[in-house]
Amino acid sequence: MPSGVDVDEQVHFPGARRPDRQYRLDAHGVGIAVSEWGASDDQPLLLVHGGFDFAGTYDVFAPMLAAQGFRVIAWDQRGHGDSDHAHLYGWDADLRDALVVLDHVGTAPVPVIGHSKGGSLIIQVADAQPYRFSHMVNLDGIPCKKRAPDIAEHDRTTMVAKDIEAWLDHRRRTALASRKPDTLDGLARRRQRINPRLSVDWLRYLVTVGGRRDDDGWRWKLDPSMRFGGFGPWRPEWTQMRLPGIEVPFLGVLVSESEEMGWGTTPDELTGWVPPRGHIELVEGAGHFVHIEQPQLVLDLVMNLLNGNTAR
């Protein structure tokens, strides 16, 4: 429970359980907060959260996986949750942090589940170091847009330079900024504006996990200078282009309901891009946070993949 939470502000949610163990890893000078559920000698399984989220968003789903006999390991990405804020953020920095966690877990291939940005991250890690993973599950984390034509190297360098300049200007403006405070309920309602399918009860619980209470009210722990993808370079199409090279059993979970934080990718858009040992499942009536809306269904899909049975 975060420091500063009064007894009368403790919030419980059915099935939610805080981690059995929490510790920190040093990722080249940035402290990364790691959470674990399940017995420490069980088979490791990694959970990777999406942008502007944190490991606590798995507080219902992770215990369900742990009950299946897994040591479930999740971490707060830099600038998120209880991990350190950094001077700069970028896609490559997130990749390096992920490798620090993987190195800590061990050398044997492990199953991994990534949501949203976390799903794109693990595809890129698997493309570079395929021996890291035994199975992969991507939860609404496959961006699919029309591929832009290749551009001249000079133009690419100019584009990156402009991205970095814009990011540095943003970082200077927000260096001393603080997130807007609110009441616990107020912060939950603000989050519901972009996650309209998630209940206020769940979001109230989430505030007590991913937020902190200061003297002037509650605020999210997320670094106020954070922007999706940092300063790049990263293009959504790169995830799609790497997808066919995934060699391990792969499950891509898509959803039918469009949301602000989701990609809106459809099964038809992935025709020809699915890995040889992969398949796509469309969950009807679910939105971007499918593992929160329908955790049992997602658990069944995951266990089918891990057990070598793709039939629902």
pLDDT at 176: 81
Residue 214 is given by DSSP the state E
pLDDT at 155: 58
pLDDT at 303: 98
The position carrying tokens 């009210």 is 217
Angle formed at CA 261 by CA 291 and CA 162, multiple of 5 degrees: 135
Domain membership of residue 77 (yes or no) is yes
Residues in the chain: 312
Contact status, residue 120 vs residue 136, Cβ threshold 8 Å: no
- Count CB-CB contacts under 10 A for residue 78: 25
Helices (H), the chain: 61-66, 91-105, 117-128, 153-174, 184-192, 200-210, 237-242, 290-293, 295-306
Domain membership of residue 196 (yes or no) is no
Q: How confident is the model at residue 144 (pLDDT cuts 50, 70, 90)?
A: confident
pLDDT at 146: 53
Q: What are the pLDDT digits (tens) for 163-191?
A: 778 878 888 888 888 889 999 999 999 99
pLDDT at 78: 95
| Token duo for residue 61 | 């789903």
pLDDT at 151: 55
Domain membership of residue 19 (yes or no) is yes
Q: How confident is the model at residue 300 (pLDDT cuts 50, 70, 90)?
A: very high
What residues have CB less than 8 Å from 146, skipping those under 6 apart?
none
Region 288-307 average pLDDT: 98
Region 114-138 average pLDDT: 95
Q: What are the pLDDT digits (tens) for 49-67?
A: 999 999 999 999 999 999 9
Alpha carbon dihedral 297, 80, 38, 107, in 10-degree steps, equals 100
User: For the domain that residue 11 is a member of, what is the CATH number?
Assistant: 3.40.50.1820
Q: Does 107 score more than 90 pLDDT?
A: yes
Specify the number of domains making up the chain: 1
Q: To the nearest whole percent, how much of the chain has pLDDT over 70?
A: 88
Q: Does 192 score more than 90 pLDDT?
A: yes
Q: Does 3 score more than 90 pLDDT?
A: no
Domain membership of residue 242 (yes or no) is yes
Structural domain boundaries enclosing 102: 7-146+226-306
Domain membership of residue 195 (yes or no) is no
Q: How confident is the model at residue 7 (pLDDT cuts 50, 70, 90)?
A: very low
Please give the mean pLDDT across all residues of the chain.
90
Domain membership of residue 173 (yes or no) is no
Domain membership of residue 44 (yes or no) is yes
What is the C-alpha to C-alpha distance for residues 101 and 255, in angstroms, rounded to an integer? 29
pLDDT, greater one: 79 or 156: 79
pLDDT at 166: 80
Domain membership of residue 24 (yes or no) is yes
What is the C-alpha to C-alpha distance for residues 211 and 205, in angstroms, rounded to an integer? 10
What is the C-alpha to C-alpha distance for residues 196 and 189, in angstroms, rounded to an integer? 9
What is the C-alpha to C-alpha distance for residues 34 and 25, in angstroms, rounded to an integer? 7
Q: What are the pLDDT digits (tens) for 220-244?
A: 999 998 876 555 556 777 788 899 9
Region 59-79 average pLDDT: 98
Residue 90 is given by DSSP the state B
pLDDT at 236: 74
Region 30-49 average pLDDT: 98
What is the C-alpha to C-alpha distance for residues 211 and 89, in angstroms, rounded to an integer? 20
Q: How confident is the model at residue 71 (pLDDT cuts 50, 70, 90)?
A: very high
Q: Does 312 score more than 50 pLDDT?
A: no
Region 207-227 average pLDDT: 93
Angle formed at CA 165 by CA 163 and CA 167, multiple of 5 degrees: 70
pLDDT at 211: 97
pLDDT at 232: 58
What residues have CB less than 8 Å from 207, skipping those under 6 apart?
11, 184, 187, 188, 191, 218, 220
pLDDT at 220: 95
